[in-house]
Amino acid sequence: MRTPEETFHAMLDGARRLQNGDRSWIDKLAEFYAEDADVRHPMAPLGDVPLHGRESLRRHFAAAGRSGLAGVRVEDVRVHRTADPEVVIGEFTYRGDPDWEAPCIVVFRIRDGLIVESRDYVDHLGLARATNTIEALCAALVNP
């Protein structure tokens, strides 16, 4: 069984591979999560839409794999342990060409090697710039 730190690193590597076009990671990424996992994106510009359960996450990863971030790199990776042995905080930055970045922080609760809760704090504007969807995001903010 993986430690929480190992789970974070494996998850991050899989996410990078998916963003770079390896769609075989859709199912593999979903398998990092417990059947009843609870994932939130509290800073999402259009509001947090919780993801509940592995199947919801599988659909999320399938959509994320179509976002067009080929060439994305994961840099500045740090893992912080907490007083709670199930909880780790991971910091990293997605980077790509031409010259964009999106800093991220995730808080994982990992039990028996599976992610049971996740709070993902992502630079959504940075990702919108990277995927050339900033105009669509602005339009959605103005006309909900």
**pLDDT at residue 36 tops 70:** yes
Give the structural domain span for 43: 4-142
- Residue 58's pLDDT is 92
pLDDT, tens digit, 9 for 90 and up, residues 62-120: 887 566 666 778 889 999 999 999 999 999 998 887 778 889 999 999 999 999 999 99
Average pLDDT along the chain: 88
pTM of the model: 0.86
- Residue 65's pLDDT is 59
Residue written as token pair 């976002």:
67
- Residue 89's pLDDT is 97
Residue written as token pair 């591979």:
17
CATH code: domain of residue 116: 3.10.450.50
**pLDDT at residue 141 tops 80:** yes
Residues 6+ apart with CB under 8 A from 101: 93, 94, 95, 123, 126
Q: How many domains does the chain have?
A: 1
- Residue 101's pLDDT is 85
Alpha helix positions (H), 1-101: 4-19, 25-30, 54-64
